[in-house]
Amino acid sequence: MRKITLAAALTIILGLSSQMAFAEESCEGSGPQLTKEQIEAKLKAAGYVEIKEIELHSGCYEAKGLDKDGKRFELEINSYTGNIAQAE
């Protein structure tokens, strides 16, 4: 009985983690990548008013700064589409 419960729990956990992985946008794409200036303009238009850092890593831009409410943000942004792939 205990083995069945453990197996069921692991199945549920693995199922949920795979769904979360699909929810994040990847940083893959084709064509020209957006420039740092284009990414910064998109972020400012979305309410991220103080961008302190934008760096390119493995197809994603990583941006850090403050939003309009003064809260810190750290984002991974698809360098081809400008869409946010992950937010912290």
Residue 26 φ/ψ region, left for φ over 0, alpha for ψ in the -120 to 50 degree band, beta for the rest: beta
Kindly report the pTM of this predicted structure.
Answer: 0.67
Tokens of 26: 């990847």
List, for residues 13-39, the tens digit of each pLDDT value: 444 444 444 445 678 888 899 999 999
According to the model, what pLDDT value does residue 29 have? 85
* Assigned CATH for 27-87: 3.10.450.40
pLDDT at position 53: 96
Give 15's strand partners: none
The domains of the chain are located at 27-87
